[in-house]
Amino acid sequence: MACVIERAGRAGTRYVGIYRTANGKYKSAGTYDSHERAYEVAEDEERHARGFLEETSPSGKATMTISEFCEQRFLRYHAVSSGTRQGYGYVAKNHILPYIGHLRISEVSRETVRATRKVLSAMRQMAFDEGYRNNNPVRSIRLKHAPTKPVLVAGHDQWRRLEEALAYPPARLYARLNVTTWARRCEMIGFDFDFGQQMLNVTRSTVYINAQYHPSGKAGWFTKPHPKNGDWRRFAISKQMGQAVQEHIEAYGLGPDDLLFPHWMFAYVRSSPVVASDNECLPALVSKAGIVYEHGTKGARYSMNCHCTKCKAYAADYQRQWRHQQRARAGESGKANIWRRDGTEFLMAEVWSRFWNAARDAAGLPEGFTPYTARHTGISWAIDKGVDLQKVRQRAGHGSLEVTSRYAAILDERDTSLADALEEIFEVPV
């Protein structure tokens, strides 16, 4: 028979639920703030013990903290993808568990959350008004929202300069596919082409998951059988683009199961050619023994320790060849695999960023032009050409037309008709 024991302490009276197990022994079902709650859990615990159930006991559920539930249940069994689970884990670790992880999850009520939000918002606003912090992160009355950053879109001339700066053919094709298919990076890692009908199927997405959240228990890539937004997409590509992709496959000997842009294709290739300045007119280097070394040679770089442009370019090429030779002696493939723990060859974001940033700087574009700008640019160009928004939404994989319509607003920012109309006011009539 369940019962309750009162305990008086400095924090007031607390109640301990007591229940009887199947072997006749009495055990505690936990300590609670009210007599009713303690008795309720003790009764549930006694029924659970006499039924010999293997699931978590009622007292275990009643006393489980947010931190314990998050680690033992939520991050293990919540029905989401590995990438989403990894994101949840980061948020919980950095923003939830350090502050409220010790609270019992069964005792955090809706009223508690609402009252905490209200009071915390007022405290943050007062701290903001008095200069203790520079914003109020809690969404409430008098909240000053952070200004949104403008979405950058490349013009036709800017994109032309960018492609010209991408001297490496696979990098140029990768950028052209990105701006014409509007695929996200996680979707571009694996493409499915139907060259007979000039169609492209976007049916999967790939993300990198650390060991804690990867299904295999090891850090590596994880391919989801659907794109980012969940819906498969199939749309036509131009004849010229299909031919360029086929030529790329033939040039690099890619098989049906190979990736179109594997990591090894980019890892040990210069993002931009090193242009050695011949205008420096540097004299040859002469050692103490009278040996003459021209710039851009092994002797000038290593024997004379020269750091001019030509010598540094030579050193970079020499070290790259040395790494290839070391892998060949060890019996490894010529494909770069040193960043892989799972043996796959998906293109890493930092490697592609190296090519993109070098081309962006060479084309004279601002730093705000990131690889994701290609997607924004392609969508904006299509809307500017008058393509139906519904067709744009389907090809881009947007969840709603509201998201697609934002790109129309970007084009409105560049519309000069209003500025020209205002300027006509100041024109002097002839």
For residue range 205-250, list pLDDT tens digits in order.
888 888 888 877 888 788 888 888 778 888 888 999 999 999 998 8
Q: Is 96 a member of any domain? A: no
The token pair that represents 212 in the structure block: 């804690």
Percent of the chain with pLDDT over 70: 84
Q: Is 92 a member of any domain? A: no
Beta bridge partners of 224: 205
Are both 257 and 164 inside the same structural domain? yes
Distance of CA 14 to the CA centre of its chain: 47
Give mean pLDDT, residues 128-136. Answer: 82
> Of the candidates 3, 107, 29, 28, which has an alpha carbon nearest to the alpha carbon of residue 65?
107
Are both 288 and 243 inside the same structural domain? no
Are both 179 and 164 inside the same structural domain? yes
* pLDDT band at residue 67 using 50, 70 and 90 as cut-offs: very high
Q: Is 75 a member of any domain? A: no
Are both 181 and 251 inside the same structural domain? yes
Phi/psi at 366 (5° precision): -70, 165
Q: Is 185 a member of any domain? A: yes
Please report, to the nearest 10 degrees, the dihedral formed by the alpha carbons of residues 154, 157, 163, 166 taken in order.
-90
Strands 199-202 and 3-9 come out as: unpaired
Supply the range of the domain harboring residue 35: 3-63
Are both 133 and 11 inside the same structural domain? no
pLDDT for position 159 = 92
Are both 115 and 158 inside the same structural domain? no
pLDDT for position 148 = 58
Are both 362 and 391 inside the same structural domain? yes
**386, burial (CB in 10 Å: exposed 0-12, middle 13-18, buried 19+):** exposed
Please report, to the nearest 10 degrees, the dihedral formed by the alpha carbons of residues 9, 14, 15, 16 taken in order.
-60
Helices (H), 166-308: 169-181, 185-188, 239-251, 264-267, 298
CB of 408 closer than 8 Å to CB of 383: yes
Are both 185 and 246 inside the same structural domain? yes
Helices (H), 75-168: 75-77, 82-91, 97-100, 110-129, 156-165
Q: Is 236 a member of any domain? A: yes
Are both 278 and 264 inside the same structural domain? no
pLDDT at 128 over 60: yes
Are both 400 and 255 inside the same structural domain? yes
Domain count, the chain: 4
Strands 192-194 and 199-202 come out as: antiparallel
CA distance 286 to 309: 18
Q: Is 141 a member of any domain? A: yes
- The mean pLDDT value of the chain amounts to 81
CA distance 229 to 199: 20
pLDDT at 79 over 90: no
- The pLDDT tens digits of the residues spanning 371-392 come to 988 998 999 888 888 888 899 9
Are both 256 and 364 inside the same structural domain? yes
CA distance 90 to 305: 46
For 103, other C-beta atoms within 10 Å of its C-beta total: 13
Q: Is 53 a member of any domain? A: yes
pLDDT for position 146 = 47
Are both 285 and 328 inside the same structural domain? yes
CB of 131 closer than 8 Å to CB of 138: no
pLDDT at 322 over 70: yes
